[in-house]
Amino acid sequence: MLGMPTLPPPAPRGVGHLRGDESFPAAARHALADTQLRANLGHATRTIRAKRASVVAELPDWEELREAGRQLKVHTMAHLPDYLEQLEAAVTARGGVVHWARDADEANRIVVDLVKAKGVDEVVKVKSMATQEIALNEALEAAGVSAWETDLAELIVQLGHDRPSHILVPAIHRNRSEIRRIFLDEMGDVDPDLTDEPAVLAGAARLHLRRKFLSAEVAISGANYAIAETGTIGVVESEGNGRMCLTLPKTLITVMGIEKLVPRYTDLEVFLQLLPRSSTGERMNPYTSMWTGLTPDDGPQEFHLVLLDNGRTQVLADAEGRDALNCIRCSACLNVCPVYERAGGHAYGSVYPGPIGAILSPLLTGVEDNASLPFASSLCGACYDACPVKINIPEILVHLRARHTETYAEEHRAPSAEAVAMRTLSYVMRSPLRWTLALRSGRFGRLLGRRRGTIGEVPLPVVKQWTETRDLARPPQQTFRDWWADTHSGDPS
């Protein structure tokens, strides 16, 4: 696949969960209107933020670790084709089978064919972003196969016929009484006297999942990392459900984005420190599972690794955007983002929400398919500070905004109203005379707001969006430059 003369395509339309039905501002409105949702999100992100801050502060070399993580990722991406071939050779040598998938459709077809060949109608799954990205569960369902999510939060989302709202805490937007209701309605085998005590809810889920683990013959996982030199795949989790999936069923299928690679076994030292602290605010995650090909009579006896492109090579080819591939899916950027905290994960319309989603989704799909996402940020920069591998998210957002407006200009004969405004402003500003006259004309704004001294709602485009909730200050009688000319230089312009 890599090394071919043309780039693989962006993530295709019509399959997967990388595109929303609405623009970000429209989708955000639903969450903003839901006060319970906003309270749930605010409480959860605040709690994780505080936990993360305290465990990060414990490490004297946190900044060096971040830099090491960044360097390792930058190096890996610069040599990705070589490392992928090394991985393929290592996995194959240990009895695994490697499949290459250009996009979501190919990956789904590969997995569905593998599952059907086993003659089963049920599989268990470890929480996996890659399989959500390609909508594997839906593809399996269409082929008559039920895929059971075994991560507790993922199970809540699945049973609730919902979509994940957070990378790490998919059910962050649900509280415990909502979860109780979902279990009662959807689990089938649940005790009708179920209370909303967290321990009781977890117990019900455990009982439900135990039956699935013991009967399933095929498991599907994602991967937090793959090691090129050894062919080892790893999954990091908190509940032990992953360990069950990875060891009990006879067949294991792992779907992994091609960027989830580290060159050497020793590189894990860096990422296993960065990831848990950044994501759950823990020093170490409870379960770290690693497997290398097959071990006779122990664990799965058939292992398939599906390497998924789905737009990633296009991201890699984008010099300004490629650092988005360095993401280790920790979700630290979500938890510090004031926009995510208010608008929630669903507003991003993609399986990748928050600041990283605002760059990753448009990069994978092509910016025109997710054109509102690069603008879904106030560019406050909190995400860049929190990122354990120092992805400069604000800079990539600005890059994608330019990409969007420039693509629009190429594809449309008439410029957008905004483009006209921006170019006109630039034309006026580049001439001192034109700019001075324009500033003086601002005084006409004084005609408004004479009574209160401020300008209230004004039903004009753009100004309306501002003045719906904020007063606009009345323009002054004299601009700064006119004052300066009067008092300092005597120069009228």
Partner 1 sequence: MKIGLLITCLADAMFPDVGRATVAVLERLGHTVAFPAEQSCCGQMHVNTGYQKAALPLVERYADVFAPYDAVVAPSGSCVGSVRHQHGLVARRFGSTGLQDAVTDVAGKTYELSELLVDVLGVTDVGAYFPHRVTYHPTCHSLRMLRVGDKPLSLLRAVDGIRLVDLPDADQCCGFGGTFAVKNADTSTAMMTDKMRHVLDTGAQFCSAGDSSCLMHIGGGLSRIRSGVGTVHLAQILAATRDRPYAVDQAHATTLEGRA
Question: Which residues from 428-467 bind partner 1, rule CB under 8 A?
Answer: 429-430, 432, 435-436, 439, 442, 450-454, 456, 462, 465-466
The vertex-366 CA angle with 361 and 367, nearest 5°, equals 75
Q: Total number of residues binding partner 1 (CB under 8 A)?
A: 71
Backbone φ and ψ of 477, nearest 5°? -70, -30
Question: Which residues from 29-48 bind partner 1, rule CB under 8 A?
Answer: 29, 32, 38
Least distance (Å) between residue 481 CB and partner 1: 6
Residue 200 contacts partner 1 per CB under 8 A: no
Q: How many CB atoms lie within 10 A of CB 302?
A: 16
Residue 417 contacts partner 1 per CB under 8 A: no
Among 14, 319, 426, 444, indicate the residue that binds partner 1 (CB under 8 A): 426
| Beta-bridge partner residues of 251 | 218, 302
Least distance (Å) between residue 283 CB and partner 1: 25
Nearer to partner 1 by Cβ, of 22 and 122: the residue is 22
Residue 475 contacts partner 1 per CB under 8 A: yes
Among 7, 39, 207, 402, indicate the residue that binds partner 1 (CB under 8 A): 402
Residue 483 contacts partner 1 per CB under 8 A: yes
Least distance (Å) between residue 422 CB and partner 1: 4
Among 425, 447, 459, 490, indicate the residue that binds partner 1 (CB under 8 A): 425
Both tokens assigned to 294: 């097959």
From the list 154, 45, 103, the residue with the least C-alpha distance to 366 is 103
Q: In whole angstroms, give the CA distance from residue 394 to residue 383.
A: 8
Residue 51 contacts partner 1 per CB under 8 A: no
Least distance (Å) between residue 356 CB and partner 1: 17
Crossing angle of helices 417-429 and 432-441, in 10° steps, is 120
Least distance (Å) between residue 418 CB and partner 1: 7
AA identity, residue 233: I
Is the C-alpha dihedral spanning 360, 169, 339, 25 positive or negative? positive
Residue 54 contacts partner 1 per CB under 8 A: no
Residue 63 contacts partner 1 per CB under 8 A: no
Check residue 372 and report its DSSP letter: T
Question: Which residues from 301-340 bind partner 1, rule CB under 8 A?
Answer: 338-339
Beta strands per DSSP E along 16-169: 97-101, 122-125, 146-149
Among left, alpha and beta (phi > 0; psi -120 to 50; other), residue 134 is alpha
Binding string, 341-380, against partner 1, x = CB under 8 A?
-xx------------------------------xxxxxxx
| Beta-bridge partner residues of 416 | none
